[in-house]
Amino acid sequence: MWFWQSERNAVKKVAKHIITYSFAILMAGTATAESSGPLGHLESSAQQGIGGPASVGAQQENDRQRFDNSSRWSSLDRSMDGIEDRKAALAARTGLSLSFDYTALYQHSSESSTGRDDAASGQLRMLGSWEILNRGGNNPGKFVFALEHRHKLGTDISPAELAGNIPYNGATAVTFGAPGSILSVAYWQQTLGNGRGGFVAGRIDPGDYTDILGHVNPRTTFSNFAVLFSPVTPIPDPGFGIGGGGFLTDQVYALGVVSDANGSLSDVEWFPGGAELYAYAELGWTPSPSKRYLTNVHVGAFHTDAKSDAGVASNKGILLSANHTIDENMMLFGRLGWAEGGGLLAEKSANAGFMWRPGLYDDLFGFGVTVSEPPGGGATQTTAEAFYRMDLADNLALTGDLQYLNNPSNGLDDAWVFGLRLRWNI
């Protein structure tokens, strides 16, 4: 495909022009709000493809839906109605669904071995899903992409670099680095079997298809990698690959992904290290396809080839993961993981937590704890995180976050990391 030959400079130019033009054509019209509860959002999002809640299709669907109850900032909601209507008209006319978001994250650590204890970054994204084949049918084919600009916000380091300055064996924030303009994903998504399965092929993010539970979205829920995922999983950055899956029965599904083990956010290259692959496979159960994010039990296994240029040995591991949603307000989740080989953050891990909706608009509270054993049998590391997301309006959310890092590497004192995240979407 043409996008497989893209180069970094071309991506920057395309991102700049498309984002500018697309904002211009969306600034008109009137909209009609849709009604749906929080669980309806997750159920609808889960049916947009085989990826997790942070994948392009799922994120677009979740952001598209509106709530029936009054917003804290209704005047802001109404000011966005014209753009919502213009987007809907564009999708109906051409099959192209566009959405935009901007997310900023600030983190401060109580401990630092370098003196750099403040980190902040922002990310402007344009998400696109262009339904080209069988539009409106049971087995549509789409071209899916995400153009982004990730940048620091007035600090020497980004949140993605903060862990290395503590130092902490992990990541206090996922996706919040500063690589500049990037084409994070660009792939073909094909639905099969009247919605019972499908595949993706192209430049993909393997994290969208690895060990997914309903709380895994670093822009709307937790920030720490060890709470969002199991720290035994060595998920590479986006690269070229293929993934597929489907329901074997009404409740049992299988999925898998194979991707470039040397994936890179900043460079769009065709397997720069050669045929060195990351592979993950999963077999799971859920009450129904629409409830895949809400209630899910699965076993997964992964393998990463040795990376010659980086001098990293191969690795492999298994995972047992589950979550369960009680009524409409509480989601419980937990994981166990074992791994061996090179390039791992941990060889054993266990994590558990919950997310709870207190009934104030769509506010969300979450708490999670992960205990992990680093490679080589070092001191057990414990990570705890709590967040409260306040939805100020339909399109604006503010999240306060607190992390406790027990037993950072090199025997330093335990660290507390305070975070503040603001997300706007349209």
What ranges make up the beta strands (E) of 205-328?
A: 239-247, 252-260, 277-285, 296-304, 315-326
CB 50 within 8 A of CB 209: yes
Q: How far is CA 258 from the centre of its chain?
A: 18
**Hey, how many other C-beta atoms are within 10 angstroms of the C-beta on 5?**
9
Is pLDDT of 339 > 70?
yes
The pLDDT score that the predictor gives to residue 16 is 44
Lowest mean pLDDT among 61-75, 307-321, 373-387: 61-75
The pLDDT score that the predictor gives to residue 359 is 87
Tell me the pTM. Answer: 0.88
Q: Pick from 184, 207, 354: which is nearest to 267 by CA? A: 184
Q: Which residues of 382-418 are buried (b: 16+ CB within 10 A; e: fewer)?
A: ebbbbbebbbbbbbbbebebebebebbbeeeeebebe
| Element holding 339 (H helix, E strand) | strand 330-341
| Element holding 351 (H helix, E strand) | strand 348-356
More confident residue, 21 or 90: 90
Which pair of structure tokens corresponds to residue 122? 């922002």
Contacts of 402 (CB under 8 A, 6+ apart): 385, 386, 387, 416, 417, 418, 419
State the amino acid at position 198 in one-letter form.
Answer: G
Out of 1.10.3720.10, 3.40.50.880, 2.40.160.10, 3.40.50.720, the CATH code matching 6-425 is 2.40.160.10
- Write down the mean pLDDT value for the chain: 89
pLDDT tens sequence across 289-309: 999 999 999 999 999 999 999
Q: Which residues of 83-114 are buried (b: 16+ CB within 10 A; e: fewer)?
A: bbbbbbebbeeebbbbbbbebbbbbbbebbee
**Residue 226 and residue 223: Cα distance in Å, rounded?**
9
State the amino acid at position 58 in one-letter form.
Answer: A
**Residue 257 and residue 253: Cα distance in Å, rounded?**
14
Q: How confident is the model at residue 410 (pLDDT cuts 50, 70, 90)?
A: low
Q: Pick from 36, 74, 43: which is nearest to 296 by CA? A: 43
- DSSP assignment of 6-60, as one string? --HHHHHHHHHHHHHHHHHHTS----------HHHHHHHHHTT-SS-TTSHHHHH
